[in-house]
Chains A and B, each alone.
Chain A
Amino acid sequence: GAGVSQSPSNKVTEKGKDVELRCDPISGHTALYWYRQSLGQGLEFLIYFQGNSAPDKSGLPSDRFSAERTGGSVSTLTIQRTQQEDSAVYLCASSPSRESYEQYFGPGTRLTVT
């Protein structure tokens, strides 16, 4: 079946511009996660959606970052006024509702801020 998809695969933007990254989770998965992977770093949690509950935004690095999930499916991560330190690979993952389940990751969006 279809896995998690993300678009675009690559994004180059100028410092100060806004960007939107999209994630299509696996159908039926109630949990959706955004992570960031910077060069030489591990995976940094950004935000987490579980069903209709309020999202857990505790990992967002600044108020320039926001995300929404429409209809319990597609999610968009928005970065406003991008900075060079925002350059990273942004990974989306989804999973079924139970905590014993693994997360399924998309291929990621590589963001480069020039």
Chain B
Amino acid sequence: QVQLQESGPGLVKPSETLSLTCTVSGGSISSYYWNWIRQPPGKGLEWIGYIYSIGSYNSGNTNYNPSLRSRVTMSVDTSKNQFSLKMRSVTAADTAVYYCARDVDRKRFDSWGQGTPVTVSS
């Protein structure tokens, strides 16, 4: 049973870069779609983007939510079985619980991390 765990700072200043990492255990990070999804307080879920890990290379195909594309970058580290999110120029609107999740065969998000809260405030 694959398990995912998010990690990163819980507080980020406005205009700075939010950086989160998701560690995958119990399975390989290769050949799956790995996603970031967030949930602002009291609101619904918002898909941020995915990275598809190709073999043992630290590269992969990515696709991002059009509304966030200009500020988001995802990367993967196969040696550590981790993937990461960087979101630049954050504002208070980026305050949310951030989840990492696995997408199986483009059909569903079958495994989720527990979520990590991030607050954007000075």
- Mutual binders A and B: no
Binding site for A on B (CB under 8 A): none
